[in-house]
Structure 1
């Protein structure tokens, strides 16, 4: 299937590893021009160099918790690309323990970085022939689990925010969707850390997966890119759960 993304202009927050990097790679494979950001210069430059042969990609050091820096990156990228067609809010603070600091961190990084990215991108998306907004939430935003608290609540808020955006922006032709991954394993990721640091929790989590294993970043990236594409032109306001049947609630 041709996703009609060749030449499209895309921004992804947190594109140096894990799900974010897989999303960048998937867009590049479809012929898109991609800008991504990350917190550390070494990770950004290494990712940009590694993906340079894959397509047109630009990495920038940005702390998405800094609203002004995030908006400046969006505007500079739009100017360099000649506009924007899609934005993907991927960064999470992964602040799970129930502390005051983690509540503040989750609200500022997970929720407000999504809001600020959208606000900065909207003037550019309004000029796109096929504009799309995608936010990465989590199954922890859909049902209660061990990550309920700062992390899970922030992920629930993201789903609600994006659903509202879909309604508010429909008359402008701007689509907005959420993708909620289940357990996703990659080296250097949270589940790799839990595997060694809390093996009992890791075994329990794997045991809850009906497939018998956790997902991969690539398995999350593929539906993200599909939802961003013009092929998905009638899909807006949805929360696409990518979890291998991990969650059992009926999504009405």
Structure 2
């Protein structure tokens, strides 16, 4: 299936590893150009070097904790790409935090407010392009209790992003801007959170693995495939949705 992404211009937060990096790769493979930011310059450089053979990719160092820096970066990225058609909000302070005030502040700044900065700064570029697509990376922790040693701030702030994205779908729909969420379940990739969970909390890891119908965790590739589809014109009639990508891990019935 041709997703119609050739020539599209995408920006991604947290694009040097995991789901963000794999989304960048998928988009490049489909003919899009990509700009991303992350904090670790060595990881940024490695990602650019690895992905450049696939197409135009620009990596930048920026901190998702800094609202103004994220908003300013959007304009820098847009100038490099020649505009913006796709926004993928992927940056996270993660859920591996101690319970307490700092966890709430971190997840508020990164998981929620960096998305607000990205979306709002991208809107004028969407309007110049005649529309666009936002894909918010959320989590099943936002919609179902997950018994893991993580701060409750993670799921709460991701739930806020789902609400925000649904509002944008309604408010910006008339501008031809679609906004959808993808909520992954446990996803394992080298160096990711679930690699560390497997080592530090093996009982919980095996419990969660066994709760999947296929008896394994998901991969970043399996999430990125859904993200890139939602960002494409093939999903032009999908707007305001929260797509759970968890291999059947959650047991709720989605009426």
Q: 4+ residue runs of structure 1 moved beyond 3 angstroms?
A: none
Structure 2 CA distance for aligned equivalents of residues 217 and 202 of structure 1: 17
Do 2:34 and 2:56's aligned partners in 1 also have CA atoms closer than 8 Å? yes
User: Residue 193 of structure 2 aligns with which residue?
Assistant: 190
User: Residue 2 of structure 1 aligns with which residue?
Assistant: 2
Do 1:95 and 1:105's aligned partners in 2 also have CA atoms closer than 8 Å? no
User: Residue 114 of structure 2 aligns with which residue?
Assistant: 113
User: Residue 35 of structure 1 aligns with which residue?
Assistant: 35
User: Residue 248 of structure 1 aligns with which residue?
Assistant: 251
Instruction: Say which SS state the counterpart of residue 134 (structure 2) adopts.
Output: strand
Do 2:9 and 2:34's aligned partners in 1 also have CA atoms closer than 8 Å? yes
1:166 to 150, 154, 169: 169
1:75 corresponds to 2:78:
no
Structure 2 CA distance for aligned equivalents of residues 170 and 86 of structure 1: 14
User: Residue 180 of structure 1 aligns with which residue?
Assistant: 183
- Taking the TM superposition and a 5 Å limit, the aligned residue runs for 1:86-97 are 86-96=86-96, 97=98
User: Residue 50 of structure 2 aligns with which residue?
Assistant: 50
User: Residue 65 of structure 1 aligns with which residue?
Assistant: 65
1:206 corresponds to 2:209:
yes
Instruction: Say which SS state the counterpart of residue 105 (structure 2) adopts.
Output: helix
Q: CA RMSD in A?
A: 1.1
Cα offsets for 1:141-183 (capped at 9, x unmatched): 1111124611111111111110111011111110000000011
Q: What is the deviation of 1:242? A: 0.4
Matched pairs, number: 252
Instruction: Say which SS state the counterpart of residue 35 (structure 2) adopts.
Output: strand
Structure 1 CA distance for aligned equivalents of residues 179 and 220 of structure 2: 21
User: Residue 154 of structure 1 aligns with which residue?
Assistant: 157
Q: What is the deviation of 1:25? A: 0.4
User: Residue 231 of structure 1 aligns with which residue?
Assistant: 234
User: Residue 142 of structure 2 aligns with which residue?
Assistant: 141
Instruction: Say which SS state the counterpart of residue 128 (structure 2) adopts.
Output: coil
Structure 1 CA distance for aligned equivalents of residues 99 and 210 of structure 2: 25
Using the size of structure 1 for normalisation, the TM-score is 0.97
